[in-house]
Structure 1
């Protein structure tokens, strides 16, 4: 399997992330994202807080950049979907960080910016 951006897999595969900042979105500090990476393909599941169940699918677009499509079912029964473009980083403690620009495609309008930090056991 050809892996053009191995650092994406190293920093995301089988790792969990929590919201650090997401003023305009539905996910919050109770929402946990669990990523899987296969080659340049990225997927995740997420839930918690306002999100009953969600998933993402996307791809690595550069050594530290990704793009995703996401969909979720809220605890209120809303079905929503959107897009995001993200950048991976590393914080002062060595945890992987994710920063996104995102927007809704269906269910609601608008968008925003959000950031996430790796959950370390």
Structure 2
């Protein structure tokens, strides 16, 4: 199945994002996500705040939708893993936005909703 990924690639590839809202999650104001896109494959690294290091891998699922698996090592030495389904958008200032529904698969329970905005260096 061919999914149009060019818009997502343009919006995510080699771009960095920070947390706009993540009340139930570990990533916070000090966490930076760096995304890469190849075709419909997505990867990222993230760190900062309570996250010592983390990785994501995923795929484009529609013109503005993605799904990811993630895992991280916290500054307290916890190893956690989870899933997320998200939408890629644009805010009034032209910055790329990401909104997710997510849940833990290992190391924690629960989940929530979170949003991210393109990092302005």
Unaligned segments of structure 2, at least 5 residues: none
Residue 6 (str. 1) matches residue 6 (str. 2): yes
Please give the TM-score of this superposition, normalised by the length of structure 2: 0.97
CA RMSD of superposed structures (Å): 1.1
Task: Report the equivalent of 1:120.
Answer: 120
The answer for the alignment partner of 2:15 in structure 1 is: 15
Q: Verify the 8 A CA contact 1:89 1:98 in the aligned structure 2.
A: yes
* Contact 1:3-1:39 at 8 Å conserved across structures: no
Tell me the SS of whatever aligns to 2:17.
Answer: strand
For 1:56, the equivalent position in structure 2 comes to 56
Equivalent residue number for residue 88 of structure 1: 88
Give the alignment's TM-score, normalised by structure 1. 0.97
**Structure 1: how far apart are the matches of 2:112 and 2:32?**
19
Runs of 4+ in structure 1 deviating by more than 3 angstroms, as ranges, are none
Number of matched pairs: 120
Q: CA deviation at 1:44?
A: 0.1
Shift of 1:3: 7.1
Contact 1:41 1:60 in 2 (8 A): yes
